[in-house]
Amino acid sequence: MKYKKEDINKVVLAYSGGLDTSIIINWLIENYECEVIAVAADVGQNEELDGLKEKALKSGASKYYQLDLTEEFIEDYVFEALKASAKYENQYYLGTAFARPLIGKKLVEIAHKENADAIVHGCTGKGNDQVRFETSIRAFDADIPIIAPWRIWEIKSREEEVEYATNHNIPLNGKNKSPYSEDRNLWHISHEGLDLEKPENEPDYKNMLTLCKTPKEANDFETYVTIEFDKGIPIAIDGVKMNGVELVKKLNELGQDNGIGINDIVENRLVGMKVRGVYENPAAEILYKAHHILETLTLERDTQHYKQKVSLDFAELVYNGLWYTTLRESLSAFVDKTQETVTGVVKLKLYKGNVINAGVFSKYTLYDEEYATFGEDGVYDQTDSQGFVNLYALPIKVHTMMKNNLYKKENDETSGK
């Protein structure tokens, strides 16, 4: 939506306390002469929230909101993707991608409450988050102006941002001094930039990792853990019932101790370029493995195979900022149907970066030992398979006969027969 600068008197800013949003407060006041309300979303980034209120107000914000969204984030977004087995390009656990829709929704709620004239975010014009924020905002307000300073200001680099902050006495905390561009929530931490921009470089894990240990640093002994699921949702660890937040925190700790959850990925951004990042997601890696193991036992073949296709589509929708769409909701309805029998207990062995199946039980199991055994059984007549195999191979047989007939005909013509 087009807007006139003079009509912008009050804005709501998605505020993280990072370098971008720290200087944006001052930049907005300078360029729009407007009131800035900073909104920080707590999705489990822990100490990164410390001191944000004081910093936002010192930077010029008129008001500060800190929204506790961790439970909603895990149970309504993360677990929806887990049920769908959704990994973007079959490797990225979508930690940033499904935090943004929730934050976008809440920004609109605060903007309406405060009668704000616009919503502001600090995403760059190269990234995915600009799309995720703005599609989510549009799902709840079709018309409110959205201001993205990176698209319009003169600043072109991180170095120029630091210079701006220094010149305007804007405080930079430890988060701002991180050498990498990072995003953190309870589900993951991402690291991008600097030496990672060269795919041939091995990541400097010693100066990077927060949630994870490397396999070399991990425990020298095996750790066993059982995870209970109810209709695709994890509900207990080692027999102890937990809510989603408690469960993810516990698995992050177990994963960290055992060197699990480090993913060095090159992915295709929505805007078309490739980007490399290192992700830390110990709980995600454990939960996705456990959920997959349980589905192999409880989903019949055709549903399991079709759901694998849906998982890729679901992940791509989420990655591309299309959470609040009829298609995503429709895919979730399909997924929920598949999860009606995904109930049971999975036992895993964690060791040196590996998540190993150590047993699985479900009352809905489709595994029948009498049918599966290689020993003698009284339920499966192996002679029944002969007709099936003949019919199954018929298209291949016909194709081979055609090629043989053509070859014979060509040889006959060549030899003059």
412 classed as catalytic:
no
How far apart, in Å, are the Cα atoms of 213 and each of 94, 255, 289?
21, 8, 19
CB 292, CB 342: distance < 8 Å: no
Going by DSSP bridges, is the β-strand pair 233-237/181-184 parallel, antiparallel, or unpaired? unpaired
Residue 151 a catalytic site member? no
Catalytic annotation, pick one of 22, 59, 181, 311: 181
230 is a catalytic site residue: no
Residues whose CB falls within 8 Å of the CB of residue 48, separated by 6 or more in sequence, listed in order? 16, 17, 175, 184
Dig out the tokens for 245 from the structure: 């937040």
Residue with tokens 């988050």: 129
Residue 377 designated active-site: no
Q: For 126, left (φ over 0), alpha (ψ -120 to 50), or beta?
A: alpha
> How far apart are alpha carbons 84 and 335 in whole angstroms?
6
Catalytic residue among 129, 136, 328, 362: 129
Provide the edge-to-edge strand list for the sheet that holds 181-184. 181-184, 189-192, 274-280, 262-268
The three-class DSSP label of residue 124 is coil
Distance of alpha carbon 8 from alpha carbon 32, whole angstroms: 7
Q: What is the DSSP string of 226-270?
A: EEEEETTEEEEETTEE--HHHHHHHHHHHHHHTT--EEEEEEE-T
Residue of 16, 20, 190, 311 marked active site = 20
- Token pair of 357, please? 């199946």
Given 16, 100, 136, 362, which residue is catalytic? 100
Q: For 309-342, give the DSSP string.
A: HHHHHHHHHHHTT-SSSHHHHHHHHHHHHHGGG-
Please name every residue paired with 40 in a beta bridge, in sequence order, or none if there are none.
Answer: 66
Q: List, by residue number, the catalytic residues.
A: 20, 100, 129, 181
